[in-house]
Amino acid sequence: MTVRVRFAPSPTGYLHIGGARTALFNWMFARKHGGKFILRIEDTDQERTVPGAIEAIMDGLRWLGLDWDEGPDIGGPYGPYIQTERADLYRTWANWLVDNHHAYKCYCTPEELTEMRETQMKEKRPLGYDGRCRYLTHEQRAEKEAAGLKPVIRFKMPLDGETIVPDVVRGDITYQNSQIYDAVLLKSDGLPTYHLANVVDDHFMAISHIMRADEWINTAPLHIRLYEAFGWQHPVYAHLSLVMNPSGKGKLSKRSQSFTDDGQEVLVKVSEFQEAGLLPEAVVNFLANVGWSFGDDVEKFTLAEALPRFELTGINPAPSRLNYTKLDWLNGQYVQEMEPMALAKAVKPFLDAAGLEVNPEALLAVMPPMSKRLRRLTEAVDFLRFLFDDVPLELAPEQLVHKQMPYEAALDAFKQTCSLIATIESFDTETLGAALMQLGEQVTTNGKAGPFLGILRLAITGQQVSPPVFESMVALGRERTLARLYEVLTLFANS
């Protein structure tokens, strides 16, 4: 079997992180088996289609590194890949079902259907279409046609017996046919519903495996009966685990944007993950852990490492919570592995967005120590705020003393530091480190440089959290470092 899988989002907005997980598992399965990953846009619900959504979905997939082999932008042998461009195909096969007695035209008006539901509720009967148009005679249908009623086409679901849905993840799932109502396949405007369109598309696009969200399980028996009516072999089904909020309370799929769950910020849109300063490598690693396990207690891995281990039978059907604390940890691990230049390029857009300009050389100087402290790239803004000229030094003299370096000793230490910075020949971390370590051992009462270097870092950056003092100085440069030190001496003089 040639593996062909598809990710088929509706362009009703953004790319949801749950949808991204579905896309990832499909992509992994295709890549493992040397198959094809197809992007198909299911836009038959025109009322909910959002302009620009297709581009947003593709942008999100590209950011995650999930490339597709066939799709609306690149075409392919089974196109077109946007459902509204395939409308004639759906109408042909919907009418084929009618002609071959597997479907029928339904002329019920919205008012009739509303009255039917109200009666069912009043009589406490199960809600659903009661099949009233299923048994219309030829004369009755002709009469409704003459009255100008535009019909929908409904599927003739078997009235008794059962339908078994074989699922790779969940095993066989049995449904009683009597509990499944005759679904609309083709709407009165000539566009298909999801049920018809996805079955026809999956057949004509030669889809071998369907990996989709848990919420679609209950549509599977209808789809299997449709395949049977057409005389087609249905693909292999694998319904993925439900994605829950981090607290386990409620489905994440119902959320349309970031929110707070038990005091924790929860991101929903893929674009929100990008805007939050998370790396795509960390996000796909995180998503691969949602409902599937690499094994051997390994949580950090690349997709290349995961592919040989990925099996549909290894997907856990139980609902999965999103552990955003683990995501931040993963992101921090990937940040630590970045080369200084790559990290500098990655954080620069966030600095630019905050309106902060940093000299490229200064930015590069603080990357190695900063990489060990960042969880998200957005944290670089506060971490590096000391590099900006318009940041005032908001410190009091008492913050710049220590029990091992009281007031007079601290003042003398800053004076000596000014002299050292002004005259030191090489202004690099190694030279500064050696000289300042020696100075620190001389100005503290216990002969240890630690208290002095800690106070010096605070004086230079004005921040409790910042890069180490030597890297901070190099990033500022000699002149700006001296300017900060002169500010400190002014603080002491005015106290």
Catalytic site positions: 254
Please tell me the distance from the alpha carbon of residue 346 to that of residue 339, in angstroms, as a whole number.
11
Q: Residue 169: CB partners within 8 Å, gap ≥ 6?
A: 238, 239, 240, 241, 312, 313, 315, 317
Q: Which of 390, 391, 395, 388 is nearest to 476 (CA)?
A: 388
| Beta strand ranges found along 137-268 (DSSP E) | 152-155, 162-167, 171-176, 184-186, 209-212, 236-239, 243-244, 259-261, 264-266
Q: Residue 176: CB partners within 8 Å, gap ≥ 6?
A: 162
Please tell me the distance from the alpha carbon of residue 39 to that of residue 7, in angstroms, as a whole number.
5
36 phi/psi in degrees, rounded to 5? -120, 140
CA 299 to chain centre: 18
4-7 and 36-39 strand pairing: parallel
Please tell me the distance from the alpha carbon of residue 17 to that of residue 19, in angstroms, as a whole number.
5
Say what the alpha-carbon torsion angle 399, 403, 405, 410 is, to the nearest 10 degrees. 30
Give the end-to-end CA distance of the chain in Å, rounded to a whole number.
Answer: 81
